[in-house]
Structure 1
Amino acid sequence: DATLATVAETVKAEDVRPPAVIVIGDVVAVGPRK
């Protein structure tokens, strides 16, 4: 349930702050490369 809540919050953030989502995407893309 916590994951679903996080996803829901992320979706809301995408609608409000698209740049934030882009930053999150970059962090996620870089994370696995470690």
Structure 2
Amino acid sequence: IPVENGRLALGRWQGIFLAEFDGPRERTVLVSVVAE
């Protein structure tokens, strides 16, 4: 997902959604950043 000026560079009809079907519990989120 490209980032420009600290914001996600998504098109007009693009989005990121999270659907939770496994019930509430603690989660770990891993983010990798690769810069040029």
Place the TM-score, normalised by the shorter chain, in its bin. under 0.3
Greater Rg over alpha carbons, structure = 2
Q: Which has the higher contact order (CA 8 A, sep 6+)?
A: 1
More strand by share: 2
TM-score (norm 2): 0.19
TM-score (norm 1): 0.18
